[in-house]
Amino acid sequence: MSDWTSGYVADIAYTYGYYAELNPLRARLLLLNSRLVPPRVGTACELGFGQGVSVNIHAAASGTRWYGTDFNPSQAGFAQQLASSYSDGAQLYDQAFAEFCARDDLPDFDYIALHGIWSWISDHNRDVIVDFLRRKLKVGGILYLSYNTQPGWTAMVPVRDLLTRHAEIMTSPGAGMVAKVDNAITFARKLWAANPAFARAHPQVAERLKAIEAQDRHYVAHEYFNRDWLPMSFAKVADWLEHAKLNFACSATAAEHVPEVQLTAEQRALLDELPDPVFRQSVRDFMINQQFRRDYWVKGPRQLTPLEHAEQISALRVVLFMPAAEVGYTLNSILGQVTLSEAIYKPVLQLLADHQPRTIGQLAQALREYQISLAQVQQAAIVLMEKGALAVAQDDEAIARCRPRASALNRVLLEQARGGQAVQFLASPVLGGGVTVERIQQLFLLARVHGKGQPGELADYAWALLKAQGQALVKDGATLQGDEQNLAELNVRAEAFSATRLPLLIALGVVD
């Protein structure tokens, strides 16, 4: 019997994550910041979409036509169910890469995304993907690629091999993947308690093992226990992608566009001496001990003239999707906590506090009285994006066109929240992407769908659903008991939700 999994973990499902880096609108800002011509994205593809949360949110909330595949039929089935809930849904399949990439009914793509795939597949599948990129990514098109990399993973490579070897030979096959993971982690704990020389030589590994212990076992299984697992250096990835005529464009991690918050002056000076872009990125990875890269690549990158850059960056619309009072004036970075200039960020946040989209040019014009330049506004937008507070916004026509589709998808996700479905995100036609909305808040939104408006009514509705399923809230690590405690806490949450979170979600088009 053939193994359709090709060594990939398939007996437990992947997590229900949403990844903003896959949103083509994010790529537009970061490419413009790198003074590169961004394409207009009308067709897009995600290879290995997992549960399909990102691909469906991006398809429902934007005008982009999305396609994709994930070999796991249960995951593809869930993704297809979501896609069927809104008009012109994403075209999603459960085919292996070789089968999907050979289809003759796929369009050429402006954008292709792979999140959490490249490091966990065989060289044969990498060949298939590179050939697909060569044939199906348009000239000027974008590839988003994330992967485990060196040197940050160096010390964990033998540890991962030990964990998977233990799972393979020390736990009975019928025990299931979660048991294999648990047993392997327990063994690693015993091994480190014996104080091996490897642990003394690599003290940072102990902290990583502690982190693994605390993580969701579904995530750990897919992250560490696949047959194929290869942290690859940036230079080797560049060698692979060269066959598809792809060039590195820029990082998809916003903080990496602000060298001052990640590199010392001495490190920046050294990088400035290096003319070769691939070697420069490789050296940079050593400077920050890079473990996981998120990158945009372009087939035929073209530089913008200074005039083109100023015009296009000025026309880009952005929106704040976090309450301004919660943003703060610090940024955590590799160099430690960086203090942001209130003289710049306070007026920027004040202008964006109503959560209405504005162009970067409009912001710069309004901030002239504070002697804040267009370049400073541009950098502030990138820093606020890194803080998870700001995103690129669609134009009003696109927002209006996508609102019914996003609403239809959100209604399905809200209904799933009744039973505890793990999707903690909803679609925003303003963002052309997703926004985090945890389950209790989703139940409050569902209460509004059923005509409830006051905070007390939202709390009563949520508690009725939770109580019927034998569920209760957890506060400060303790499970609340009975109607009185749970309703009291739900009322507090509903009041806060109605005062701050609900107006934000309305402004983002998540709800009416």
Task: Please provide the average confidence, as pLDDT, over all residues in the chain.
Answer: 94
As a three-state string, the secondary structure of 164-177 is HHHHHHCCCHHHCH
Strand positions, DSSP E, 383-491:
390-392, 425-428, 433-436, 474-475, 478-479
Residue 19 banded pLDDT, cuts 50, 70, 90: very high
- Residue 470 has φ and ψ, to the nearest 5°, of 70, 25
> Cα(464)–Cα(79) distance, rounded to whole angstroms?
29
Share of the chain above pLDDT 90, in %: 88
Element (H, E) at 272: helix 265-272
Bridge partners (DSSP) of residue 208 are: none
Query: Is the pLDDT at 205 greater than 80, yes or no?
Result: yes
Residue 5 banded pLDDT, cuts 50, 70, 90: low
**pLDDT given at position 2:** 46
Which residue, among 322, 302, 306, has the nearest Cα to 314 in the 3D structure? 306
The angle formed by the CA atoms of residues 136, 140 and 142, to the nearest 5 degrees, is 70
> Cα(225)–Cα(181) distance, rounded to whole angstroms?
8
Burial of 76 (C-beta count, 10 Å sphere; 0-12/13-18/19+):
buried
Q: Domain ranges for the chain, please list them.
A: 20-151+230-298, 159-224
Residue 293 banded pLDDT, cuts 50, 70, 90: very high
What pLDDT digit, counting tens, does each position of 238-285 carry? 999 999 999 999 999 999 999 999 999 999 999 999 999 999 999 999
State the residue for tokens 């504070």.
370
Bridge partners (DSSP) of residue 88 are: none
Instruction: Report pTM.
Output: 0.91
Which residue, among 342, 196, 273, has the nearest Cα to 205 in the 3D structure? 196
Q: Are strands 137-148 and 292-298 parallel, antiparallel or unpaired?
A: antiparallel
The top-level CATH class assigned to 20-151+230-298 is alpha beta
Q: Are 269 and 120 in contact (CB under 8 A)?
A: no
**pLDDT given at position 228:** 81
Query: Is the pLDDT at 10 greater than 50, yes or no?
Result: no
